[in-house]
Each structure stands twice: as structure tokens, then as C-alpha cells.
Amino acid sequence: MTSLPENSYKSRILTGDRLSMGTLFRVFRFRIVVTWTLTTLETAMLALFPLLIGRSIDGLLGDDYTAFVQFVGAMVVLTVVATLRRVYDTRAYGSMRVALGQAQANRAGEEAVSVTNARLLMGRELVDFLEKEAPLSITGVIQVIVALVVLFSFHGLLALAAGAAAAAMLGIYGLSARRFFTLNSDLNEQSEAQVSALESRDLSRVTAHLIGLRRHEVRLSDTESVVYALIFTALLTMLGFNLWFAATQTGATPGEIFSIVTYSYEFIQMSVILPMALQNLTRLAEITERINKAQPAT
């Protein structure tokens, strides 16, 4: 591979460093902080919408349009922020993909084209995580915290039940993290052989490769199914407990019971995002090792 242009500043930094999300964050920290800040602002505004809607209803019933105007203003601001974030994201993370790809191609040396091709695709997943999964995780964390605070305002035991479910969820994933790493490693190893198999134009070899991909994907999917079944069991148990406790033990009004169940369900929806992010991090940890590993020429 030829050297990168001298004016390719970002790429030269990446070429001299270990290729990882940490390096991407260090090199492109301003762009990432901007996108994550916009994401946090967008999420915070969304979290306020139920409150603004409630105040708008009360105000309109009393012929007072103040809260309604505030709600409309918040919707306009949210639309502007969300649009700007998406426009900025595409350009910022697109530049990261180019720089990372240049660095990978430059250090590929004489390794097999099939390996370089597979690793270029894998490397893009690092940027994909920063662009998509990381902001989604930020959203999940914020909304989980809001749900816990609201549940605690009704009764401490409701928040404790939600916290216990979250702890069980993280514990379940923690026990399976190493297996996820191994299964992703096997799948990535098989993926690296794809171009080589296709170049052979040997139908039996291509078929064997595709069967191998299917086998690894099935093993990974089966593990995910078991893990998420256990996680949903813990979370749905919490939902059932909070419904029972709110209806029979707190003297809550129907409206309060509805709020408790709604926030408990929202807690479930957002909590599921976190183990998904952890699973992706496990996959990316294996990818990081792989794209930084020297590959002998073929």
C-alpha cells in the first residue's frame, strides 16, 4: 500500500495509533461531543413532553393557552435540534469512516485482499457504534434515570424493584459476555474468508463457507435468545410486581396506577437497550483486536 497524503492529518494520527473507539474519540472528540450533546438535549426535551402535555391539557380546559404555547415551542425546538443532529451526524461520522478506512488500508501491507476487505467492513462498525448505539444508550440511561426518579416519588419499593431488575439484567449479561466474545470471534474469522472463497469460483468451497457462516450465526442467535429470555423474565416480573404493589398496597388513584405502570414499562423498554449496547461492545472488542492484528501475506 502507498503512504497516505501528508495533508491527511486525521488519517496519519489513526495510522500511528491502535485502531479503536478510544482512538476515534480522542482524534474526533469535538465532533463526537457535539453529536452526543445534541442527543442529550433531544432526549431531555422528549422526557419533558408528558409534563408539558399534562399542563397544556389543564391550561386549555381553563382557557389558558400559556402552557400550550410552551408545548408548541418545545416541539419546534425539538424538531430543529433533531434535524440539525442528523444532518451533522452524517457528515461527522462519514469523515471518521474515511479516516479509519485509510488507516486500515495503509497498514494492510501484503495481507490477503479478503482479509483487508473483511476488516474494513468490521472497522466501520466502530464508527457505527459511536454514531448509533452510543447515542441510543445515552437516551436509554437518561430515560431509565427519569423512570426511577418518578417511581421513587410514588414509593421507594417501586424504584427498588426496578433497580433490582436492572441489576439482574446486567448480571445475566455479565455471565454470558465471554461466550458472546468467542462466538463473534468465530463469526468474524469465517467472514474474513469470504472473498477468498468467492475468488476460488469453487461452488463446493463457497457452499462450505456459507454453511459455516450460517452455523456461527445460529449459535450466536441461540445464545442471544436464551440471554434475552432471562432478561425479559426479570424485567416483566418487575412490571407485574409494580402493578400489584401499586394497585393493592399504596392506595394510589387509577391515574397514579396508570403512571406507575407506564413508567415501569418505559423502564423495561429503555433497559433492554443497555444489554444490547453491551453485546455490541463485546463484538467491537473482538473486532478491535482483529483489525489491529498482523496478518501474514498469502
- DSSP class of residue 293 equals S
Q: Which of 180, 264, 295 is nearest to 228 (CA)?
A: 180
Check residue 194 and give its pLDDT.
Answer: 75
pLDDT band (50, 70, 90) for residue 250: confident
pLDDT at 195 over 80: no
Claim: this prediction has a pTM higher than 0.75: no
Q: Which residue has the cell 498482523?
A: 294
Give the highest mean pLDDT range of 21-25, 60-64, 86-90: 86-90
Beta carbons of 106 and 1 less than 8 angstroms apart:
yes
Q: Which of 145, 126, 125, 132 is nearest to 39 (CA)?
A: 132
In the numeric block, which cell numbers belong to residue 282?
A: 463485546
pLDDT at 163 over 80: yes
Check residue 6 and give its pLDDT.
Answer: 45
> Among 20-24, 101-105, 192-196, which is the least confidently predicted range?
192-196
Q: Which of 4, 27, 39, 260 is nearest to 153 (CA)?
A: 260
pLDDT tens digits, 253-282: 776 777 778 778 878 877 777 777 777 777
Average of per-residue pLDDT values in the chain: 80
Check residue 7 and give its pLDDT.
Answer: 46
d(CA 192, CA 290): 10
Percentage, residues of the chain above pLDDT 90: 6
pLDDT tens digits, 210-230: 888 888 888 888 888 888 889
Check residue 54 and give its pLDDT.
Answer: 66
pLDDT band (50, 70, 90) for residue 10: low
pLDDT tens digits, 66-95: 888 988 998 999 899 889 988 888 888 888
